[in-house]
Amino acid sequence: MTTFGVGELSALNGIAGSYAEYVPVLHIVGAPCLTAQQRGDVMHHTLGDGDFRHFAHMSAHLCVASARLTADNACAEIDRVLTLMMRERRPGYLMLPGDVAALPAVAPENVITSAPPQVSDALCEAFRDCARQKLAQGTNIALLADFLALRFGLQDALQQWVQETPFPHATLLMGKGLFDETAPGFVGTYSGAASEPRVRACIEEADVVICVGVKFTDTITAGFSQQLPEQRTIEIQPHATRIGDRWFSEFPAATALAIVRQLCKPRLQAVPDRLAPPESPQPASGALCQTSFWR
């Protein structure tokens, strides 16, 4: 919660970071009374031109939903903004004028829950067939996951999958912590050409790579140096999935992941010994230096 104008402007860096990182932060701004806004009064914390929407327009670019609350729309708009904020995992913005805050409101009937979109049986079958054909192109399958898998609640499902059948899997830098890095099958952090050779081979030489919640940005791929062509990847994103060059829109990630995991079961074998997690280096004795510190 911030004050109008100066307070919300001070918060914009944090809100922008939350937007970029897919963190659902609700920003509530205490604004001048609607009566003052309607008259165009020259109020403190404004630009003195009678326009009270300058700062809301700035925030609109950094949130998934925003609303200027009135007595008539407050209950519905609060629910709308919260629902979109949680669905998209991005900030929401509510401007709450002082006189509106003092008015009675209808109590909510229940907790807001995001209902998963309904996926038709026909679409599920089409996705299943397409995924089956792609997975049939080879026996060497790898998993690459990143921070969107964390943001959209897929961590438990992914961890259960690699515990059930350890097979080569890695994260990018922003997804660190998604997997148990001491477990069989975890090969390390994939960073395109900057990866350790062992990690790069496990991911880029796989017949099929299942990418879950991955965003290939310049810094985490060493300048877009990843070698993962569409023909060898299944890309599962929060609200859509790509298999080869075919997209399945409005297809929930959890549904796609469950189908792909089921199809992979008969194809995955226990991780070979060569993919056992590397031994952690032991700290050197003696004086504290750069080498011993980082070890």
121-272 in CATH: which number?
3.40.50.1220
pLDDT at 269: 65
pLDDT in tens, 246-276: 999 999 999 999 999 999 988 876 666 556 6
Would you say 252 and 119 are in contact if contact means Cβ atoms under 8 Å apart? yes
**Fold match, 2-101 / 121-272:** yes
Q: What is the mean pLDDT of the chain?
A: 91
Give residue limits of the domains in the chain.
2-101, 121-272
Q: Region 58-82: what's the mean pLDDT?
A: 95
Cα distances (angstroms) measured from residue 264 to each of 79, 100, 102, 177? 39, 55, 57, 24
2-101 CATH fold: Rossmann fold (3.40.50)
Of the ranges 106-110, 118-122, 225-229, which is most confident?
A: 225-229
Q: Which two tokens stand for residue 3?
A: 């004050």
Kindly state the greatest CA–CA separation across the chain.
75
Question: Rounded to whole angstroms, how far apart are CA atoms 218 and 209?
Answer: 20
Question: Considering the entire predicted model, what is its pTM?
Answer: 0.85
Q: Which two tokens stand for residue 122?
A: 């026909």
Judge residue 192's burial from the number of C-beta atoms within 10 Å of its C-beta, 0-12 exposed, 13-18 middle, 19 or more buried: buried
Q: Which residue has the higher pLDDT, 279 or 77?
A: 77
9: enclosing H helix or E strand = helix 6-20
Q: In what order do the strands lie in the sheet with 65-68?
A: 2-3, 26-31, 92-97, 65-68
